[in-house]
Amino acid sequence: MKQPTRYHDLSDPQARPRYTGIASFFRAAHTERLDEVDIGVIGVPYDGGVTNRPGARHGPRAVREQSALLRRISAATGVAPFATARVRDLGDCWLERPFALEGALDEIAAFYRGVVGAGVVPLSVGGDHSISLPILRALGASRPVGMVHIDAHCDTGDDYMGSRFHHGAPFRRAVDEGLLDPTRVIQIGIRGTVNDPDMWGFSTRSGMRVLGMDEFADNGWHFAAEEARRVAGSGPTYLTFDIDSLDPSQAPGTGTPEAGGITALEALRLLRALRGLDFVGADLVEVSPPFDVGGLTAFNGASILFELLCLLVESWQIRHGATRSVKS
242 contacts Mn ion (rule: CB under 5 A)? yes
Taking residues 34 to 73 in sequence order and writing x for each that binds Mn ion by CB under 5 A, - otherwise, the string is ----------------------------------------
Provide CB contacts within 8 A for 85, sequence distance 6+: 38, 39, 313, 316, 317, 322, 324, 326
Query: Which residue, 314, 319, 306, 326, is CA-closest to 26?
Result: 306
Angle between helices 59-67 and 296-320 (to 10 degrees): 80
Taking residues 68 to 107 in sequence order and writing x for each that binds Mn ion by CB under 5 A, - otherwise, the string is ----------------------------------------
Size of interface with Mn ion, in residues (CB under 5 A): 7
Identify the sign of the CA torsion 86, 87, 89, 95. positive
Taking residues 121 to 140 in sequence order and writing x for each that binds Mn ion by CB under 5 A, - otherwise, the string is --------x-----------
Report the residue count for the chain. Answer: 328
> Which is nearer to Mn ion, 242 or 266 (by Cβ)?
242
Least distance to Mn ion, CB of residue 180, Å: 14
Q: Which residues inside 140-159 make contact with Mn ion, applying CB under 5 A?
A: 151-153, 155
How many CB atoms within 10 Å of residue 102? 13
Nearest-angstrom CA–CA distance, 85 and 187: 29
- Give buried/exposed letters for 176-191 (b at 16+ CB in 10 A, else e): eeebbbbebbbbbbbb
> Which is nearer to Mn ion, 86 or 167 (by Cβ)?
167
Least distance to Mn ion, CB of residue 293, Å: 19
> Which is nearer to Mn ion, 131 or 231 (by Cβ)?
131
Provide CB contacts within 8 A for 159, sequence distance 6+: none
Least distance to Mn ion, CB of residue 214, Å: 17
Positions in the binding site for Mn ion (CB under 5 A):
129, 151-153, 155, 242, 244
